Amino acid sequence: MPKMSVKAGLPPGSLVYIGEQKLEEVRIRLMSYSETDWSEKELQLSKASLAGLDKSSVHWIRVEGIHDADTIGQLGRSLGIHPLVLEDILNTGQRPKIENYLDYVYMAVKTVVYDCQAGKFELEQESFILGENYVISFSEDSTAIYDPVLERIKAKAGLIRTTDADYLLYCLLDVIVDNYFVALEELGEEIDAIQDELVTNPVPATMQFVHELKTQILYLHRSIWPMREIAGLLTRRETLLVREGTELYIRDLYDHIIQVMDITETLRDILTGMLDMYLSSVSNRMNEVMKVLTIIATVFIPLTFIVGVYGMNIAMPERQWGWWYPVLWLIMLAIAGAMVVFFKRKKWW
């Protein structure tokens, strides 16, 4: 949970980065493309301006690294972004949302990034600003997940070169949602892997792992849930920045978001079922242990009583009889056998 409290008492619009630094330096790149051409270059902070952008092309300003509040603040002012929006962009604890401004639409979403070292997924914040002919993206880290889109632009694949900035935004949101499928399938495989372990060898560590998976799915669900609203709002075209032709694609995106939510719910149900199975499995094993042990004890208790009787230092008539010892063994075996049969018949064993 990022520390939101550092901003307590500051005036609204104060730019404070809330989150971990993931890159050494902020890097700003400008990708411009039209049907006929494309170009990509580093953008100098001092030269960043919307006024200088060619009207006939689509421009994608990619900001990687948002830990430097000063740089982002300066960039935001150059690009005419409202201070409250900049404040949200710098707050990685921001929940996904969409907001309509006069000239642009601002939206924050969460992207799923796989951390190879820790072997678990991390959620990172992506902020987008969609304008007339430009998209500005703000990422916590480097944006390898956008590579397929970059390649499509360069290779002129699909419709991307012949459409407007709204279609570019759709493509970026689409790869983000696609990454949720990847994450959920990884989780699904981990779940499959421990399912067998759960029944054969139910140890507390397994349960703790199931709990952790459940928490992870919970976070994924919390991240994807508000995106439904974002896509819904874009579909209903409450902003003129989304063109009619793109609407169909965003409806498709909406559909994918619903599917992600369906899968998270299914996985959550499966994990809940696994916790039930674990508890029942543990108590079953414990019962098995206790039952067998108690039965062994119970079989020997009457026998121990009998040998105790003949250990008494009292005159007993039967002691005189020479065959008493082997007969006693037979009696004791008979008692033990009878008890075993009794337990077996009652299906207690």
Tokens of 247: 């609407």
Position 245 contacts a second copy (CB under 8 A): no
Considering only 243, 266, 330, 340, the residue that binds a second copy (CB under 8 A) is 266
338 interacts with a second copy by CB under 8 A? no
**Should residue 272 be labelled a site residue for a second copy when binding is judged by CB under 8 A?**
no
DSSP 248-274: HHHHHHHHHHHHHHHHHHHHHHHHHHH
Instruction: Look at residue 33 and give its three-state secondary structure.
Output: strand
Strand order across the 120-130 sheet: 38-42, 27-33, 58-64, 134-139, 120-130, 105-115, 97-100
Q: How far apart are CA 37 and CA 156, in angstroms?
A: 9
The interface with a second copy within residues 193-232 (CB under 8 A) comprises 199, 201, 204, 207-208, 211, 214-215, 218, 222
Which of 127, 130, 229 shows the shortest CA–CA distance to 170?
130
Which of residues 16, 158, 331, 334 is near a second copy by CB under 8 A?
158
Ranges of H-type helices in 204-243: 204-235
The first and second tokens of residue 201, run together, are 């060898």
CB of 346 to a second copy, least distance (A): 8
Residue 236 touches a second copy, criterion: CB under 8 A: no
Between 119 and 308, name the residue whose CB sits nearer to a second copy: 308
The footprint of a second copy on residues 8-37 (CB under 8 A) is 8-13
Choice from 45, 56, 245, 297 touching a second copy (CB under 8 A): 297
C-beta of 74 vs 195, nearer to a second copy? 195
- 102 touching a second copy, by CB under 8 A: no
> Which residues from 40-99 bind a second copy, rule CB under 8 A?
82, 84, 87-88, 93-95, 97, 99
Smallest distance from a second copy to CB 295, Å: 7
- Contacts with a second copy by CB under 8 A: the residue count is 105
| Partners of residue 114 on adjacent β-strands | 121
**132 vs 235: CA distance, rounded Å:** 17
Query: What is the smallest separation between the CB atom of 44 and a second copy, expressed in angstroms?
Result: 30
